[in-house]
Structure 1
C-alpha cells in the first residue's frame, strides 16, 4: 500500500503502518491535551492505542498463519486508523478452509482476553462510566481486555469484509455454493453498511468511515467472485490476444515509438524468433526518450524479469495473477514459443461477453 512504513516481518509477512495512523495518534494526544491531561497521561493514552493495535496485528497474524497452512501466502499486513488488513493472495474456495481462516483472527482476541482475565485481579465492584472515560495505570489492562472483547463482537457482524461476513459466506457456501453465498453475504453487508453511515451522522462520524469501508468491501468481494465464476473451466488460450505487435531486441527506441504511435499498443513483448526475451512499457519508452536514447536498442532498456503463462493454464489463475502484480501484459507460450499475450483488459472483455451470453 502506498505511503506506508515497514515495521518489520513476522513469519515472512511484511507488517506496514499507513501514514494516516499518525493522524490517529495525533488526535488522541490532542484530545487528551484538550482535557487538561499532563504529559504522562497523554503518553499513557498513546501507549494504549499502540497496545490495541498490537492486538490487531496478532489478530491479522491469526488469519495469515492459518491461511499459510493451506498454502495461501499473505503479502502484507497493513495498519490503518480503522484497523488492520491482511492482504492474502487469495481466499480458499473450500468453505471449511475459509471458515477456519475467518475464525482464526477473533480466536486470537479471545485468547488475549482470556489471558488478561486470568492474570488480572478481580474488580471489587462493577465499573462505572468514569472507569471507561480515561486511560489510567490502574485500568490500562482492564481496558485492553474490554477492547479485545469488543473486537470479537464487532468482527462477528456478518458484513464483508469483516470476519463475520466471511464466516457467513463459508457457512452458506456449504449448501448454496460460493457465488450465491457471496451474493447473500455481500448484500447483507451493504445493508449494514448503510445503517452504519446513517447512524454515524447522528452518533459518531467514525461509523461513517467504517460504513463506507464495509460497503465497498462487500461490493468488491461480490464482483470478484462473480468474475472468477465466469472464468471457471476456461483456459488462457481462450482469453489471450493473438493479434499483437512485438519488438526485437535490436529495434531502436525510435522504432518502438513509431509502433506506439501507429497502433493502440502501449506495451510490447520483445522476442527473437518466438523466444520471449522481455517486455517494454510505454513508461520505459518515455523515460528513454527523455534521456535522449532514441537510437538505443530496446534490448538495453526492456524488463527481463518476466512471468509467462502457458496456453493451457487456467484463465482464472491468470486473472488473479494479473490483479496481484498489476503488470500491463503477460506473454503466453505454447511449447515454449510465443503464442499470444494477455492482459487484464482482455480478460475483462472475456468476462463481459460471458456475462452477456448468460
Structure 2
C-alpha cells in the first residue's frame, strides 16, 4: 500500500503503518484540546492510541499465524485509522479452517483483556456511584490507562464479532453457513448481511462518529468485492490454464531493440512480452519499461527486462494462476507444457475468460 512506513517483520510478515494513521492521532489531539486538555493529557491519549494499535497488530498476527498453519502466507499487516488489515494470500476455503482463522484475532484480544483483569481492580470501578466513578476516571493515572485498555480490547472483541462480512464476525458467519450451504451461497448471504449492516453504520456515522462512515465503506465494498471473487473462483473451478492462455504472442529475443518493441506495441494490443533464447525464457518486458527507455531506441531488451519470470503449467487450474499473480508482483505468467514454452496468461485474459464462462452459464 502506497505511503506506508515499514516498522519491521514478525515471522516473515511485514508490519506497516499507513500515513493516514497520523490523521487519527491529530484527530485525538484535536478532541482533547477541545475538551480543554493539557499537553500531558494529549500525550497520554496519543500513547494510548499507539498501545491500542499494538494490540490491533497482535490481533492481526493472530489471524496471520493461524492461517500460516494451513499453508496460507500473509504478505503484510497494515495499520489504518479504522484498524489493521492483514493481507493474506487467500482465505482458506475449508469452513473449519476459515472459522479458526477468523476467531484467532478476537481470541488474542480476549487473552489481552483477561491479562489486564489481573491488574485492573474492576470490582472497585463497578462498586462506585456515577459521580465517584467519573472523578476516578478523570484522573490521568496508569491504573485508568490499563482500565481503558481493558475496555478497548473488550470492545474490539464485541465489535469484530458483529456479523458484518468481511469483518471477523462476518467470516465466522460465512464459515458456519458454508457447512450447510456451500461457499458460494454462504458468501452471498454473508455479503448481503454485511452490506445491510454497512448501510446502518453509515447512517449512524452521520450522527455519531465519522469513523463509522469509513468502516461502513470498507465493509460495503469489501463484501461486494469478495462476493464477486468467490463467484469468479467458482466459475473457474475445473478450468485449465490451457483453455484461457494466450498463444498468439510476440516473442522477443535478447537482441531485440527498444525501437522494435515500440513498433509492436503501436501496431497491436500486446502490453507485455517474453524474452526468449531458444527454449529458455530469460525475462519479461512490459510497455511501461519500454516507454521509460523510449529515448534509448537501439538498446537491447536484455538490458532492461525483468529477469524474474513466473511460470505455470498449461495443465494447472486457472485459479492457480490467479494465486501466483496474487503472491507475486506480476500479472503476466509464462505458460509451459512438458517443459517447453506454450504461451502466456495474464489477468486481463482471465477476465475475458470469466466473462465468457458467465455468459455460457447463464444460457
* Structure 1 residue 63 displacement after superposition: 0.5
1:301 aligns with 2:304: yes
The residue number in structure 1 matching 2:48 is 48
1:1-358 alignment to 2 at 5 Å?
Answer: 1-126=1-126, 128=130, 130=134, 136-137=140-141, 138-289=143-294, 292-325=295-328, 327-358=330-361
Query: For the Cα contact (< 8 Å) 1:241–1:342, is it kept in 2?
Result: yes
* Structure 1 residue 314 displacement after superposition: 1.6
* Structure 1 residue 123 displacement after superposition: 3.8
* Whole-angstrom CA distance in 1 between matches of 2:125 and 2:31: 29
| Structure 2 unmatched runs, 5+ | none
Structure 1 residues 134, 219: CA separation in 2 closer, same or farther (over 3 Å shift)? Answer: farther
Which deviates the most, 268-277 or 160-169? 268-277
SS in structure 2 opposite 1:284? helix
> How many pairs were matched up?
356
Q: RMSD of the alignment, in Å?
A: 1.6
Query: For the Cα contact (< 8 Å) 1:267–1:328, is it kept in 2?
Result: no
* Whole-angstrom CA distance in 2 between matches of 1:134 and 1:279: 62
* Whole-angstrom CA distance in 2 between matches of 1:228 and 1:26: 42
Query: For the Cα contact (< 8 Å) 1:16–1:78, is it kept in 2?
Result: yes
* Whole-angstrom CA distance in 2 between matches of 1:35 and 1:172: 46
Query: For the Cα contact (< 8 Å) 2:251–2:274, is it kept in 1?
Result: yes
Query: For the Cα contact (< 8 Å) 2:137–2:144, is it kept in 1?
Result: no
* Whole-angstrom CA distance in 2 between matches of 1:56 and 1:324: 24
| Structure 1 unmatched runs, 5+ | none
* Whole-angstrom CA distance in 2 between matches of 1:55 and 1:171: 27
Deviations 1:106-156 (A, max 9, x none): 001111111111222244343647379768214111111011111111011
* Structure 1 residue 328 displacement after superposition: 4.1
* Whole-angstrom CA distance in 2 between matches of 1:293 and 1:219: 45
Structure 1 residues 308, 266: CA separation in 2 closer, same or farther (over 3 Å shift)? Answer: same
Query: For the Cα contact (< 8 Å) 1:275–1:336, is it kept in 2?
Result: no
Structure 1 residues 165, 117: CA separation in 2 closer, same or farther (over 3 Å shift)? Answer: same
TM-score (norm 2): 0.94
* Whole-angstrom CA distance in 1 between matches of 2:59 and 2:139: 22
Structure 1 residues 134, 15: CA separation in 2 closer, same or farther (over 3 Å shift)? Answer: farther
* Whole-angstrom CA distance in 1 between matches of 2:347 and 2:162: 33
* Structure 1 residue 329 displacement after superposition: 1.6
Query: For the Cα contact (< 8 Å) 1:323–1:344, is it kept in 2?
Result: no
* Structure 1 residue 274 displacement after superposition: 3.4
